[in-house]
Amino acid sequence: MSYNFKPSIFFLGATGYLGSEFLIRLQRDFPGLQINALVRSPTPERKAQLDAIYHGTHIVPGTLEDSQIILEESSKVDIVINCASSDHKPSVFAVLDGMNQSAARRPGNPPLLIHLSGAGIIADEARGAFKDNIPEHSDIGLDLRNCPPQNTHLDSDIPIVDAGTRKDNPIRSIIIFPSGCYGVGNGVQKTSIWLRFFLEFVKKLNYVGTWGEGYNAINDVHIKDCADALMVIFKAALEGRADEGAEGLYFCASSSRVPYREWTKVMGDYLYGYGHISQPGTCPMPNDVVDSMGFYGWSLLGGNHFCNSDRLAKLGWEPTESKKHGLIETLPECLDEAWSFLSAQHFQAGAGRLLYFLYFTTLTIFTTSDSMHFLTIFAGALVTVAVTSVTARPSLHSSGFTARDEYSDLSLRSLQNEARDDYHALVVRDVLEAIYARDQGPHLEARARFAGPRGGRFAHHQKDGPDAVPPPGPSMPQNPTRPTQLDK
Ligand SMILES: NC(=O)c1ccc[n+]([C@@H]2O[C@H](COP(=O)([O-])OP(=O)(O)OC[C@H]3O[C@@H](n4cnc5c(N)ncnc54)[C@H](OP(=O)(O)O)[C@@H]3O)[C@@H](O)[C@H]2O)c1
């Protein structure tokens, strides 16, 4: 179908994992639109990255805290797409204020809001414990006011539905609730927010952990399917076929639900195998760690959310990529990508600290008397540590993810690499067995090929005889009903 109407768009979160993957599809199907993207770090590199994804993107410098900018930009366009943060209320309200002005200016032709929320709205309070009969939620007939009221995202989502259903000058509102997205994306940010978030805890604790026992599970969906879903909805909305307002609520999920304790085990074994952390597998994280995120963490990461994407199915969407490549199969490559991303961020944070300290001390040396030098340098060091530690706390939005912990321990651990190589072979085998156990036999060959070149790292260490470590790969038994390592 060709579209004569070329809507103008204000885009929040264009550089993110989901946002940039969707922009790639916009470039493919709708080149030449006027897209204004809010970008908090508009460096030349960032601009070039965005331009490569959507040619001609106009950068609006600003953060989610810049309510006035967000309001003005939202009031000027036909469509606002918000893939930035489903929990940042001030920016959501600024979008709505801007769109309300626009709706009042153009009665009968309201602007459209496509807002990304998350399936965490239906989380239960399992706290990682095993539970039977977990209810499945459909998006058809879903009423946000019937969701557990404390749940994440609802504070932002309910006002959006209200704006889309009010009598006077309603806006057109659509909210999409993805479940856990996985897979390496092709956009600016290549890995999912939750994976980077998890890894921050991993780096801090030196092992992979769960909220409670980790028996809880959520649906997952491949990034490609999620971005395709956004496009299906976008096109349907342009053609006036999409459900909107009270009906404009779309779960985006495949039917796969892997308990946290299963995928975190694969994650722990894999990271341990590469010497990144000090213990393999997974275990419950201590209360003082998980409680630091309060109800929010318990609900989002210790709860179950089982949902069905019935509305997307009505529009013809299917999670085709998720069926081909499941969560566990893609974990190793996602971990590689996310680990290097965070490592680069930590390095930058360290360099930033050093510069800040040098700047502070140089300034004070030139502005204070000789007798004060030592004291001011000492104070400078304290201030630097205090400021950077506070601003570096893991957070799900706004400040992004930078960690307090340095990981000089990594270099120490690399000294032990030789001793680890045999263990590493076992770990790779564990990961592969877990994948077999999850009935993903056909894709295992691909994973085995993935393990191949890295396997080369330890291949010459392998022993012959009864203690030999079986090589990873197609020679492994392919019994999909085999119990996982966790069940042994
Ligand atoms: N990924 C999932 O599995 C999933 C599932 C359900 C719901 N969601 C929701 O979908 C949203 C996007 O997820 P994602 O994985 O795409 O996250 P992401 O990769 O972290 O992307 C977030 C985007 O928002 C921008 N942003 C964040 N804070 C900002 C601030 N203070 N000022 C300006 N821009 C800011 C980021 O800019 P920078 O590039 O500068 O960081 C980035 O473009 C999240 O709200 C999440 O809750 C995600």
Using a pLDDT cut of 70, give the percent of the chain over it.
73
CATH code of the domain covering residue 54: 3.40.50.720
* Mean pLDDT calculated for residue range 78-85: 97
What's the 396 CA to ligand 1 centre distance in angstroms? 8
What's the 14 CA to ligand 1 centre distance in angstroms? 9
Q: What is the pLDDT of residues 241-288, one digit of tens each?
A: 999 999 999 999 999 999 999 999 999 999 999 999 999 999 999 988
From 12, 17, 38, 330, mutation site for ligand 1 pocket: most ligand atoms within 8 A of C-beta: 17
Per-residue burial over 197-214, b = 16 or more CB atoms within 10 Å of its CB, e = otherwise: bbbbbbbebbbbbbbbbb
Domain tally, the chain: 2
**Range 469-473, long-range pairs (CB < 8 A, 24+ positions):** 469/422, 469/425, 469/426, 469/429, 470/429, 471/425, 472/425, 472/428, 472/429, 472/432, 472/448, 473/432, 473/445, 473/448
Single out the residue of 95, 195, 167, 141 nearest to residue 401, CA to CA. 195
Residue ending a domain, among 297, 321, 345, is 321
Residue 376 lies in a domain: no
**Which pLDDT value is given to residue 357?**
66
Residue 392 lies in a domain: no
Q: Cβ distance 14 to 51 under 8 Å?
A: no
Residue 181 lies in a domain: yes
Lowest mean pLDDT, pick from 5-14, 54-63, 397-406: 397-406
From 23, 60, 116, mutation site for ligand 1 pocket: most ligand atoms within 8 A of C-beta: 116
Q: Cβ distance 448 to 432 under 8 Å?
A: yes
Q: Which residue has the higher pLDDT, 367 or 335?
A: 335
Residue 52 lies in a domain: yes
Q: Which residue has the higher pLDDT, 275 or 410?
A: 275
* Mean pLDDT calculated for residue range 358-382: 70
The pTM is what? 0.78
Lowest mean pLDDT, pick from 2-11, 53-62, 264-273, 410-419: 410-419
**Which pLDDT value is given to residue 44?**
96
Residue ending a domain, among 276, 294, 321, is 321
**Which pLDDT value is given to residue 425?**
44
**Which pLDDT value is given to residue 451?**
45
Q: What is the pLDDT of residues 309-355, one digit of tens each?
A: 999 999 999 999 999 999 999 999 999 999 998 888 766 666 666 67
pLDDT bucket at 188, cuts 50 / 70 / 90: very high
What's the 293 CA to ligand 1 centre distance in angstroms? 18
**Which pLDDT value is given to residue 342?**
87
Residue 342 lies in a domain: no
For residue 470, give its domain range: 416-487
Same domain as 224, residue 111: yes
Mean pLDDT of the chain: 81
Which residues have a Cβ under 8 Å from the Cβ of 81 and sit 6 or more positions away? Answer: 9, 10, 11, 12, 19, 22, 114
Nearest protein Cα to ligand 1, atom 45: 85
Nearest protein Cα to ligand 1, atom 44: 85
Beta bridge partners of 9: 35, 79
Residue 288 lies in a domain: no
Residue ending a domain, among 289, 321, 353, is 321
**Which pLDDT value is given to residue 478?**
28
